[in-house]
Amino acid sequence: MARPTLPGNRAKISALDIVIVIGGIIGIMAFNRMSIARLQRSLPNANSQIVGEWTSTRGPEHLVFRADKTVSMTVPAKPAEDTAAPAAPETNGPAPVPGKYQIVQGGKVGIQLLNGTKYTTTISLGNPNRFDLVDSATGGVTTFERVPAAPVGAATTPKEPSQ
């Protein structure tokens, strides 16, 4: 049993003791914050891996992921089964369906389009330029590949030959 202390003989806590304890707590919190920040920088960012244009390997579907967590999906309308050729080919195509995407732990991506369709996929580190998009309603799987970026000089207009 501990000896009871007399009211007049209690140990006093000095201001230096308080400063040391508070400084130690702040130091531990700062160390933990720096460790977490270093860990976040070392882990791959799935958001930067998915941003860009993707096209289906089997069909004409096209996805565009943007850094602001929005996505648009273009699915061309099925052609009418007429034997007559169209008078002029359609150049505009259907409007893309906008939506939002959310990246969760482990590289899993959930896509919610404004038409109510939901999709899921997982971006893997082993193959960052390809993913399988799963339709939540039907369970159908569509494989998408990243559209290769155009070379820097390809966007400029060719020089006219000098005479």
User: How does pLDDT run across 45-103, given as a tens digit for each residue?
Assistant: 555 678 889 888 887 888 998 989 899 988 776 655 554 445 444 455 678 889 999 88
Q: Which long-range contacts (CB under 8 A, 24 or more apart) does 57-63 make?
A: 57/143, 57/144, 57/145, 58/142, 58/143, 59/142, 61/142, 61/144, 62/96, 63/133, 63/144
Residues 62-81 as b or e (16 or more Cβ within 10 Å = b): bbbbeeeeebbbebeeeeee
According to the model, what pLDDT value does residue 13 have? 85
pTM of the predicted model over 0.95: no
Take residue 121 and report the two structure tokens written for it.
């996929």
Domain 46-77+95-149 has CATH 2.40.170.20: no
- Provide the residue ranges of all domains of the chain, joining segments of one domain with +: 15-42, 46-77+95-149
pLDDT class of 38 with cuts at 50, 70, 90: confident
